[in-house]
Amino acid sequence: MAEFTLELNDDQKQVKEWLHGFAADVIRPAAAEWDEREETPWPVIQEAAKVGIYSLDFYAQQFFDPTGLGIPMAMEELFWGDAGIALSIVGTGLAAVGVLANGTEEQIGTWIPQMYGDADDVKVAAFCSSEPDAGSDVASMRTRAVYDEAKDEWVLNGTKTWATNGGIANVHVVVAVVDPDIGSKGHASFIVPPGTPGLSQGQKFKKHGIRASHTAEVVLEDVRVPGHCLLGGKERLDERLARARERAKAGGERVKNAAMATFEASRPAVGAMAVGTARAAYEVALDYAKTRSQFGRPIIDNQGIAFQLADMRTRIDAARLLVWRASWMATTGKPFTSAEGSMSKLYASETARDVTAQAIQILGGNGFTREYPVERMHRDAAIYTIFEGTSEIQRLVIARTLSGVPIR
């Protein structure tokens, strides 16, 4: 029987050190500038592409790590550097996961490379699900996709919001309603190829945190995409819709829709991002507490400070273990019978929010200024309890899974 261990293997350790070095040497020095500019840090993304971090090959290697720890390890190190820049580097991954979760082998091979481009001409991709009136309530989605059988094209109309890389992406993955009579079960995902007429960027949002990551509305006006841009293909869609209609008539089991499949696959990764931000703030606070003197001694000598740091580190390690467990379960095909993916995202995101706030408190007035990075880290951490399912939604998912009751 294999020995139980939580220790990374030699290959994982090398990758971790490599990513940590890039985060320390390239991402961190640029963090404050791009936060102030509130612009996509293309030079940093290009540097990541040159060294092989921003590439399909790198993410594929981490994705297929048999332990499941490749992706969370990578996310933690990059987001330890800076959340806004890191999200600009990894944001394309959500669209890629959408294709991997729902697409055919041909679609995966065709579209994912176009999402990244190459080191000389980097591209980004966008996953477009949320709408002005449909965030957590995916059943309220209004963007429609209508099949034009004569031309074998799908016609998309609607407005998406909160789209990372929305409008500036080379490839957009759009979730739309194909059968409104069966609610969220009547959704499908579509590839919108680069340069497709009718797709435009709407409002670009000025955000509280993660300012280096581009977030905008995506407007779809009679956007026509070829039939082969329906992820999974029409035959598979027709079969899925037929089953959903039958189950709806019989009051049967729930069927996962395309957007939810993507979110479920990515929640532990978001938890890992939160762990990275929390760890970064904790380290700043620890170093500060060791060097900042008040009343003739370092402030870490005071229980009030030392106990805060002890709690911060304990929560960070616990969050990481929840993330690793969920990632291992997903990779090894073990079902989330207790909503372990949502557990990891919930606990890690709230840990990041609380730990960054504690870091500001430990730094006192200095923590409230932009001279120290914990202020930025706290602003960035706020997003983790909101995007890809709010903390309230995670609790709802967990409660429903544990109880078997459709809690509302």
Catalytic residue set: 388
Residues 331-362 as b or e (16 or more Cβ within 10 Å = b): beeeebeebbbbbbbbbbbbbbbbbbbbbbeb
Q: Please state, in angstroms and rounded to a whole number, the distance separating the CA atoms of residues 314 and 188.
A: 41
Q: Mind giving me the DSSP string for 148-166?
A: ETTTTEEEEEEEEEEEETT
Give the list of residues 6+ apart from residue 13 with CB closer than 8 angstroms, or none. none
Q: Please state, in angstroms and rounded to a whole number, the distance separating the CA atoms of residues 148 and 397.
A: 37
Name the residue among 280, 317, 147 with its Cα closest to residue 288: 280
Give the list of residues 6+ apart from residue 37 with CB closer than 8 angstroms, or none. 211, 212
**Residue 400 amino acid letter:** R
Whether the CA torsion 128, 129, 135, 136 is positive or negative: it is negative
Phi first, then psi: what are they for 286, rounded to 5°?
Answer: -65, -45
